Amino acid sequence: TSRGTATMTPEIARDILPLVNDGCHHDTLMRYLDYRINGLRSKLEIPGDHNALLSVQGQIKELRKMKSIQAEARGVLENDRRDV
């Protein structure tokens, strides 16, 4: 891992591929992630302590990363095939 971020393994990529390749499930997941990001953005507008602000920013960053899960899974599997 680099800077505490776990890299998706080929095994995990294969496991989640049905979720991200199915249009209905993928669209539902993206709508949910957008919903969560928007909810967290509203928290940024509420005055609070610096640590709480950093926590919300980190949560938003992770949810945004989740939005690229389909490309990440496909990329991992493509690289895994090339390595074989």
| Tens digits of residue pLDDT in 18-61 | 888 898 999 999 999 999 999 999 998 888 889 999 999 999 99
Q: What is the DSSP letter of 84?
A: -
Confidence of residue 2 (pLDDT cuts 50, 70, 90): very low
State which amino acid sits at residue 56.
V
Confidence of residue 73 (pLDDT cuts 50, 70, 90): very high
Q: Give the number of residues written for the chain.
A: 84
State which amino acid sits at residue 69.
I
Confidence of residue 1 (pLDDT cuts 50, 70, 90): very low
